[in-house]
Amino acid sequence: MAFISGNPVIAGLDLYSSSSTPMHEIGQLIYGDNGKAFRYVKAGAANLVVGNVLQAPVIDTQFDSMSVPVNAVGSQTVTITNGTTALTGDEFKGGSLSVSVTPGLGEEYTIIGNGAAISGASLTVYLDRPIRTAWTTSTKVTLRNLWNGVIQCPTTLTGSVAGVAIHAITALYYGWIQTKGVAAVLSDNSTGAVGSDVGVPGATAGAVGVNVAGTGKCNTVGRALRALSTGLCVPVYLNID
C-alpha cells in the first residue's frame, strides 16, 4: 500500500541557512507566503551562489535502463546490476526508480535508500513500497535524483532545472532553494522586457535569458518583472515544478 504524507507547515531549518546533516527528506516541498515554494536539496561539490539558477546533478547514462535479476512481487528491497559508475550509500535517497522496460513497464517508486556498489556489482535499493509486478531479467530500470547534489546551471544544460539559490549553501550541505514565486535571479545579456518568459541555459552560467523561438532556452523558469540587464539579479516570478 502506498502512503502519502503532507508537506510540512514549518521548516525544520531556517530557509536562509544550511546544515551538514539533513533535517528534511531531500526533495521535500514547502510553501511560503505570496505563492512562494521551496525544495530541500543537497548541494553538489561547489558552493551555491545566491541568485543562480540551479540544475539537478549531471545526468549519468549508466543509470539508464539498468539490468536487474529476478525480483518478486511484494519486494520492497530490490537488487539492480550496477553500471560502471561506483555508488556510495544513499546517493539516490529521495530519488526515483522508473521501470523503463517490461515486465513492470511504467511503474515508478521513490527511493528511500541504497547500498554502496562498485562497477558491475549488485546494487541494493530500498523503495517506498513493494513492487507491484515481478521483475525478470528482461526488466530494465532507470534511476534519477533531482535534488541530491544540485549545481549551478551551465551554459549547456546537463540536467533538469531544480530551482534558484536563495542562500549560499556550502558544498555538500543541505538547505532550501526556491521554485515558485518572486525571486531575484541572475540575468544574462539578452534583451527582454517586463513580462518576458525567461529560461535557461543563459549566456552566462547560472543566469536566465529571454525565452524566444530559436534561442535554445528550452527550459522556461518564469517571467521577468523588469527588463533584463547583464550581470544583474532581476525579479522573476518563478514557476518551476
| pLDDT-wise least confident of 4-13, 97-106, 183-192, 208-217 | 4-13
Distances (CA, A) of 188 to 75, 83, 119, 204, 222: 49, 38, 40, 6, 15
Q: What confidence score (pLDDT) does residue 97 get?
A: 97
- Residue 46: exposure state from Cβ atoms within 10 A (0-12, 13-18, ≥19): exposed
Q: Is the pLDDT score of 10 beyond 60?
A: no
Whole-number pLDDT of residue 212: 67
Q: Average pLDDT for residues 230-241, to the nearest whole number?
A: 93
Residues contacting 173, CB < 8 A, separation 6+: 18, 19, 20, 42, 43
Residue 145: what are its φ and ψ, rounded to 5°?
-140, 110
Q: What is the pLDDT of residues 119-161, one digit of tens each?
A: 999 999 999 999 999 999 999 999 999 999 999 999 999 999 9
Integer Cα distance of 241 and 56 in angstroms: 12
- Alpha carbon distances (Å) from 91 to 12, 124, 178: 22, 12, 22
For 154, half-sphere exposure in the C-beta direction (CA atoms, 13 angstrom radius) is 9
**Distance between CA atoms of residues 92 and 111, nearest Å:** 7
Has residue 173 got a pLDDT over 70?
Answer: yes
What is the pLDDT averaged over residues 107-114?
95
Asked if residues 53 and 161 have their Cβ atoms less than 8 Å apart, the reply is: yes
User: Is the pLDDT assigned to residue 215 strictly greater than 70?
Assistant: no
| Residue 5 pLDDT level (bands cut at 50, 70, 90) | low
What are the DSSP calls for 29-68, one per residue? EEE-GGG-EEEEEEE-SS---TT-EEEPSPP-GGGSSEE-
- 73: cell is 512481487
